Chains A and B, each alone.
Chain A
Amino acid sequence: MHQFYVQTLNGLTLAGIMFLVSSGFTLVFGVMRVTNLAHGAIYLLGGYIAYSAIQTLDNFFFGLLAAALATAALGLLLERTLIKRMRGQVMAELLATLGLVYVIDDLALAIWGGNPLSLRLPGFLQDSSTLPGQIVYPNGRIFIFVVATAIGLGLFFLLRRTRIGAIVRAGVDNRAMVGAMGINVRLVFTAVFALGAMLAGVGGALGGTVLGLAPGGDAEILTFALIVVIVGGLGSFEGAVLGSLIVGLLSNYGQAYFPALAYFALFAPLVVVLLVRPQGLLGRAAA
C-alpha cells in the first residue's frame, strides 16, 4: 500500500510534466491546426538551456526563466519566419516541423554533447518532506506537480475568464469568423505558438530534474504528448489535463510494476479510446 501511494505520487509528477508539454501541443493544434512535431525537440532544448543557465547563473529559477524566455523567443521566430508561409497547409506544416526536429536535435548534440545531463534543484527542493501517511517524498517532485497545477490553473483562467482566452477559444471554434470580427488573428497565432513553445521549454527545465536530459529524450516526451492528446482529444485543453493524468499514472504504474511491458501501459489507453471514442475523450467529432 505504501509502495502504491509513492507510485501514485510519482505518476502525478510525470502527469504534471506531460501536461506542460501536451497542453502546449494541443493549444497550438486547437487554435492554428499546426501539428508541431518539433515540440519534443523544443522541450529538450528548454532543458538544455536551463542547464547552461544554471551553470553560469548558479540559480535554478533563473535557469527556468531563461528556458521559458528562450523557447518562447524560438516559437515566435519559427511562427513568424516559417509557419506563416504555410498557413492552412496542415500537412506541409507538420512535415516542416519534422524537418526542424533534425536541426534542433543535431545542434543540441553539437552544443551539449551526447552524454545524459541532469538538472540539479536548489537547496530546499533537494530535501524530502514527510507527507500525511508517513510518506517521505522528495520536495522537488512535489514542486513540479505544484508548478504544473499552477500553470494549468493559470491557463484555465486565461482561457475561460479573460478576453484573450475568449478570442483563443473562438479561434478554436471558427477562425474565419474571428478574423471577420476584426480581431488580429495573426497576432493571436504568433502568441499561441510562442506560448506553446514556452510551455514545452518550461516542461523541459522541470522534466530534466526527474527524467534527465539526453538525445532521444525529445522523441520519448513527444510520444507521451501524442498519446495524451489522442486520449484526451486533439485540440482540447481539458482533454490534455485528463489525458496527462491517465497516461502519466498508467505509464508510471507500468514502469514500476511491469518494467518490460511498460509500453503496453501506453498502448492500452490508446486502444480503448480509439475503439470507444476515436476523437478522444474530450475531443469533438470530426476534429
Chain B
Amino acid sequence: MNAGVVVPGQDRVDSVDVRRGRQSFLARRQRPLLLVGALVVLLLASVFLFRGGFWGQLVTQMLIFAIAAMGVDFLGGYGGLVSLGQASWLGLGAYGVAVSMTRGAGPWAAIGISLGVLLVVALIAGLLAVRVSGISFVIMTLALGQILFGLSSSLIDVSGGDNGLIIPINPVLGPMDLNDTRHLSFAVLAVFVLSAVVLWTFVHSPFGLSLRGIKSNEQRLRTLGYSTWLHRYIGYVVSVIFGGIAGILYVFTNGLVTPTALDLGHNGIITLMAVVGGLGTLWGPALGSVMILLLQQYVSIYVERWATVMGLLFVAIVVFAPEGVWGVGKKYARRLSHQSSRVPPVGIAAALPSDDAIPTVEPIESIEPNEPIKPSEPIEEEVR
C-alpha cells in the first residue's frame, strides 16, 4: 500500500500506530513529549496525595475511576465494544473483598479471593457478552451489570443489602501500612501506573493490533484466519478485570461498599469518563475521570443541581465533540503542527461504524471494489 493511498470506507486502522516502521514526524516527536507530560501528571498527583485532605482523597478517587475507565477504553476504544457495565464489575471487586473479610478472611486473602471470583465470573459473563456485538453488546453489558446491581441489594445475607458492607482493616505489607491514608493513596497511584503500563503494552502488542483490526473490519480478520471471537473474549475479560481491580482499591479507600456503587448512574459515569476523555486513547479516560469527579465532588459544593449540569455537559460533548476532550486536543495539536488532515478516528466515531445494525447494508459495505485485499496490508505485517 502506497503511503499516499487512503483506504476508504471501513478500513480505518490507525495508520500512525500500525505502520510502526514509517512513523510520522509528529508521532516520533510526541513520545518524549507524552513521557514528560506523564511525569508532570505523576508529580502533581503525588503532591496532592502527599498533602492529603479533601484534594488528596479526590485525586485518589480519580486514579481509581481512571483505572476502571481505561478498562472500558481498552475494549471500547480499541476493540469497538463499548461496555456499559463497568461500575458493576468495580462493585463485584469491592464486594469480593468486603464479603470475604466479613466472613473472616484477612485483607490479603480477601484480595486474592476477590480476584479469583472476578476471573471466574468474567470468564462466564464473557461467554454471553461477546456473543453479540455493536449496540446489542452495549445493551447486554448494561443488563448484566444491572443484574449484578440487583443481586447486591437483594442478596441481603451475603451483601448486607442496602446498608452495604464495611471493611474493618486494610492490608499491611512490611513497612507499608495501608491503614495510613498516605500509604494507601500512594499504593493506589502505584496500581494506577502499573495498570496504565500493562494496558499500554496490551494495546501496542500484536494482540492489541489485531483487536483494532477487528474493530475496523472483523470480516477481513476472520477471513485471514484470526479467531476474532477469542480476541473479543480475552479483551472483555481483561477489561472487566481492570474494573475489578479498581473496585478492590475503591473498597479499601472508602472503607465500605453499598449497592449504589453499582447502579445505572455509576455504570453510565464510568463509560462516559472514557467517552468524554476520548475513546481510543488511554490518556482520554484518565482525563475524563479527573474532569467528571472534579465536577461531581467540587461543583456539587456550589451547585445543587450539579447532576443536571453534568448530564447536559455529557449531551453537549457527545453532540459537539464526539472525539472527546483528548481527541479534540489531539486534533488541534496535529493541525498546529501541519500534520495531514488524515487523522485516525478516535472517540465515539471510532467505537462503532455508523448504522452497524442494518443487516442488508453490511455485506455490501465490506466489499471494497477498488481496493483488493493485498498481502502487504500493514495489519498482516505487524501481527503475522
A residues adjacent to B (C-beta < 8 A): 29, 33, 35, 37, 40, 82, 85-86, 88-92, 94-96, 98-107, 110, 173-175, 216, 218-219, 222-223, 226-227, 229-230, 234, 259-264, 266-267, 270-271, 274-275, 278, 284-287
Contact = CB atoms under 8 A, between A and B. Distances in A.
Contact of A99 (B128, B149, B156, B318): B318
A286 B359 contact: yes
B44 interface: no
Contacts of B268: 37, 98, 101-102
B307 A260 contact: no
Nearest to B142: A226
Contact of A263 (B82, B150, B310, B322): B150
Contacts of A285: 359
B212 to A, nearest CB: 17
Contacts of B304: 110
Contacts of B155: 260-261
B59 to A, nearest CB: 24
B143 A226 contact: yes
Contacts of B131: 274-275, 278
B301 interface: no
Given A37-B268, A95-B348, A99-B318, 7 more contacts: A37-B142, A90-B355, A101-B264, A101-B265, A105-B307, A227-B143, A234-B139
B136 interface: yes
Q: What's the dominant secondary structure at chain B's contact region?
A: helix
A68 to B, nearest CB: 24
B360 interface: yes
Which residue, of B143, B275, B314, B357, has the highest number of chain A Cβ atoms within 10 A?
B143
B135 interface: yes
Interface in B113-165: 128, 131-132, 134-136, 138-140, 142-144, 146-147, 149-151, 154-157
A174 B360 contact: yes
Given A35-B135, A267-B147, A89 B354 contact: yes
Contacts of A103: 307-308, 311-312, 315
Contacts of A234: 135-136, 139, 357
B314 A106 contact: no
A284 B136 CA distance: 13
Contacts of A267: 147
30 contacts: A33-B358, A35-B139, A86-B318, A89-B349, A89-B354, A90-B135, A91-B352, A92-B348, A94-B138, A95-B318, A96-B314, A99-B272, A99-B313, A99-B318, A101-B265, A102-B314, A218-B264, A219-B265, A223-B143, A223-B147, A230-B139, A230-B140, A261-B155, A263-B151, A263-B154, A267-B147, A270-B143, A274-B131, A274-B140, A287-B136
A86 B154 CA distance: 38
A175 to B, nearest CB: 8
B79 to A, nearest CB: 13
Nearest to A267: B147
B146 A223 contact: yes
B319 A96 contact: yes
Contacts of B271: 95, 98
